[in-house]
Amino acid sequence: MDVTRKAGLEEGAEPLDGIIVGELPSDVFARRFGNYFFSDIDLNSSESIISTLRQVAVVCSGLDSEVDVFASSSRRFLARLDNEASWPREIKKLSREMWVDGDTGGMFIIDRRKKWVIYQARPVDLAVLAVDCHADLRGISAVRDSFFTIGDVKNWLSLRTARDRELVDVFGSGFLSALVESYS
């Protein structure tokens, strides 16, 4: 198992050219990706979302995938995880270390091949997963269970069902409309 911790950018982490510091609902990425998925689950501590990301990594990058983990607030490199590492355990450990250091922000995780990146500014914010992968990720049940798409948001904004109205009330129609505009 290879977990490189706190090595810093000078010791092997790629430059952060795929992320710009911004806040959702604006586009937070410096380049466009093929697909975007969103989640309101805490990336720092949710075993289910971390396991889902592991599945995305394998589908998009194969069994030899590696990711770099950064703190969102400081853009500080936290660790490099390979496919042998226990991603849920390691990311939870990194989250605890951030908290002890006084960093209560979120994380972002970048695939070393830059096929995907997930960004969450703070654990209470939406996370956005940007993907350039030819596989149909919506075919993975864990992706359907943990993420929603701009198509889902457009459906919610139609207010056809009680659930649509509830979701629009929770997120706010202005926020959701801006999210659709930024990521369509």
Mean pLDDT by 10 residues, the chain (184 residues): 48 57 86 92 90 90 88 90 91 94 92 91 92 87 92 97 96 97 94
Find out whether 41 and 146 touch, Cβ atoms under 8 Å.
yes
Residue 161 burial (C-beta neighbours within 10 Å; 0-12, 13-18, 19+): exposed
Would you state the structure tokens that stand for residue 105, as one six-digit string? 């922000």
Res 135: pLDDT = 85
Find out whether 18 and 114 touch, Cβ atoms under 8 Å.
yes
d(CA 183, CA 31): 11
Quickly list DSSP for 67-128: EEEEETTT--EEEEEETTS-HHHHHHHHHHHHHHTT----EEEEETTSSEEEE-SSTTSPEE
* Cis status of the peptide bond prior to 25, with omega within 30 of 0: yes
d(CA 136, CA 126): 22
d(CA 51, CA 184): 27
Res 7: pLDDT = 44
Q: In this structure, which amino acid lies at residue 17? A: D
